Structure 1
Amino acid sequence: MMTSVNMIQESAEWIKQKITVEPMVGLILGSGLGDLADEIDQPVHLSYEDIPHFPTSTVAGHKGQLVIGSLEGKPVMAMQGRFHYYEGYSMQEITFPVRVMKELGCESLIVTNACGGMNDDFQPGDLMIIDDHINFTGGNPLIGKNLDGYGPRFPDMSNTYTPALREHAFESAEKLGQEIQRGVYAAVSGPTYMSGAELVMLRKLGGDVVGMSTVPEAMVARHMSMNILGISCITDMAIGETIEGITHEEVMEVAAQAKPRFKTLVRHVLKTGKSELWHSKEEE
């Protein structure tokens, strides 16, 4: 299903009738990290099933709802659970909520995920600021008719993740005494975990971590000139030469262990980020 402007506006108008704040920052909370939305002040909870044109998350550990309210004094719109290419949705469907976020007023996006670490210097439980990405999913959410009112036909992805937000997040981690990594996120379609040879290939291509999300949402947000901060939680080591089996349950367990540091970091980033960090600079 291709996304249309009417679909975006219908979803946004339905949500507007349910809320009293205009969100400024969108949050996409990955596997095991959704509890941050439970800390939002004066929350409004909206089930994906009730929102016009929204898909429904099928992944264990994802609550499948929007939570809209205030976090550290910033009006936010959080997704507790995201949609994935491997669930059978189109790229346009899985990125549809980002379009709606923009329509509702969000100028910035914080996108998070659980992922496997391919860099020998990383270890399970680490958090990583995404500096760049490799789209190895085999798809692109911008294929098809361009939504001219939202962005250009040929958007530039050379600086997808906003440098000022990346540096602010890195400085926030330092102030909190958190050790934090930074690197390149390689996105694959899933749902299978990668073979050893595939992991070696991705690492040689420049990937530091590998996962099954984030990049499509970031591409659509970039298309709309939103500011973007990406944070990965490394739940297992995916070193091709020495790879051991991993299950979704194990991924969730490590994400749960890292959750307190993750929530503290995101809250600090929101609390201490100056206003101009969250306002997008529309491209000329």
Structure 2
Amino acid sequence: MDNTTLSQQAAEALTYLQKKVPAELHEPVVGITCGSGLSGLAESVLPEPRCEIPYTDIPHFPPSTVHGHAGKFLFGLLELNKKPIVLMVGRVHYYEGHSIQSITIPVRLMKRLGVETIIVTNAAGSLNPDYSVGDLVILNDHINLAGLAGIHPLRGPNADDFGTRFPALSDAYDLDLRRRAHQLWKSLGRGTKSTRRLHEGVYAFVGGPSYETRAECRILRSFGADVVGMSTVPEIIVARHCNIRVFALSLVTNNAVLEAGPRGDDIAIQGSSAQDLYKAIEKGKANHEEVLAAGQNAAADVQQLVGLLVRDILSTDHAH
């Protein structure tokens, strides 16, 4: 699928949504992507007016198949008499079998809807020993391993109606939005009321769905990555290609295992039982259930920070 076809598909999806979404919710200026375990962000939206549309109903839209991702667009308001917003309640991933281009159709569609700023959240594994499970990380850069290998959402003919052939990414993560987020976090007094901390760091994108090996984690850390995950970066690239401002936030849901682990010829394990060997090699093993659990535990803080940031954007950038 080339990018010209994607432009046509985005236009057809837009036509469908414009017929389904109430007029007062047209032209949302902020889009939010809810990552694993973070769909509770949808609770911030007022009960009326709102409109929910499953991905499976939208033409050309890739379905979400991962547990913890509801798979729907939600249009609504955070406050009455303010500009509407749109949320992706659950995202689609490359590892689900979709092409790298098709998983970014939602971002192109957001651009067509009128979105000027996108807030992307995700669950990520920590590579930085200073980070703890439950901490939040504002992204200020990324390492696109798949893209460096040629699996890139802008590969193929350029969609000129969206952006330039060679978009720069050195400014991908908006500095003003990052500054505002830090200020808002401080205003919440999280430093005294909670052990949850807010950092800034670099996100490494890997294809998934398997979690990274110990050696891979050490490589990523040596490259300068602070967190690692299976999403976000393709969306960021396409958002910047579309000239959409970007704010990205990772929730640390597990600590990646960086140490090499026991060797088979280690004297210390000779004579150990099978159960003891299992415990030794399984230490720190990641699983999706802990990702969802960490998301649920952090939901209130994430919702509050993102909600305040969106309100700030709507009040200062789009004052009525």
TM (normalized to structure 2)?
Answer: 0.84
- Aligned with 1:162 (options 166, 170, 174): 174
- Given that 1:168 and 1:273 are in contact with CA atoms closer than 8 Å, whether structure 2 keeps it comes out as no
Amino acid of the structure 2 residue aligned with 1:165: L
- Given that 2:123 and 2:251 are in contact with CA atoms closer than 8 Å, whether structure 1 keeps it comes out as yes
In the alignment, which residue of structure 2 is the partner of 1:252? 292
- Given that 2:31 and 2:119 are in contact with CA atoms closer than 8 Å, whether structure 1 keeps it comes out as yes
Amino acid of the structure 2 residue aligned with 1:86: Y
Amino acid of the structure 1 residue aligned with 2:243: S
Give yes or no for the alignment of 1:122 onto 2:162: no
- Aligned with 1:220 (options 238, 242, 247): 238
Amino acid of the structure 2 residue aligned with 1:153: R
- Given that 1:185 and 1:208 are in contact with CA atoms closer than 8 Å, whether structure 2 keeps it comes out as yes
- Cα deviations by residue, 1:232-253 (Å, 9 ceiling, x for unpaired): 0000111411761111011111
Cα 1:34–1:223 shift into 2, 3 Å: same
In the alignment, which residue of structure 2 is the partner of 1:211? 229
- Cα deviations by residue, 1:160-203 (Å, 9 ceiling, x for unpaired): 01111111111111111233111001110000100111001100
**Structure 2: how far apart are the matches of 1:260 and 1:275?**
22
- Aligned with 1:198 (options 216, 239, 243): 216
Return 5+ residue gaps in structure 1 as ranges: 280-284
TM (normalized to structure 1)?
Answer: 0.94
- Given that 1:119 and 1:239 are in contact with CA atoms closer than 8 Å, whether structure 2 keeps it comes out as no
1:1-284 matches, cutoff 5 A = 1-3=1-3, 4=5, 5-19=7-21, 20=23, 21=25, 22-41=27-46, 42-72=49-79, 73-137=82-146, 138=149, 139-178=151-190, 179-241=197-259, 244-273=284-313, 277=317
CA radius of gyration, larger in? 2
Cα 1:102–1:214 shift into 2, 3 Å: same
SS of match in other structure, 2:124:
strand
SS of match in other structure, 2:133:
coil
**Structure 1: how far apart are the matches of 2:174 and 2:93?**
23
**Structure 1: how far apart are the matches of 2:246 and 2:17?**
23
Aligned-pair CA distance for 1:277: 4.8
**Structure 1: how far apart are the matches of 2:258 and 2:318?**
38
Aligned-pair CA distance for 1:36: 1.1
- RMSD (Å), alpha carbons: 1.6
- Given that 2:44 and 2:303 are in contact with CA atoms closer than 8 Å, whether structure 1 keeps it comes out as no
Return 5+ residue gaps in structure 2 as ranges: 191-196, 262-282
Amino acid of the structure 2 residue aligned with 1:212: M
**Structure 2: how far apart are the matches of 1:76 and 1:159?**
24
SS of match in other structure, 1:159:
coil
SS of match in other structure, 1:143:
coil
The alignment of Structure 1 onto Structure 2 pairs a total of residues equal to 279
- Given that 2:122 and 2:232 are in contact with CA atoms closer than 8 Å, whether structure 1 keeps it comes out as yes
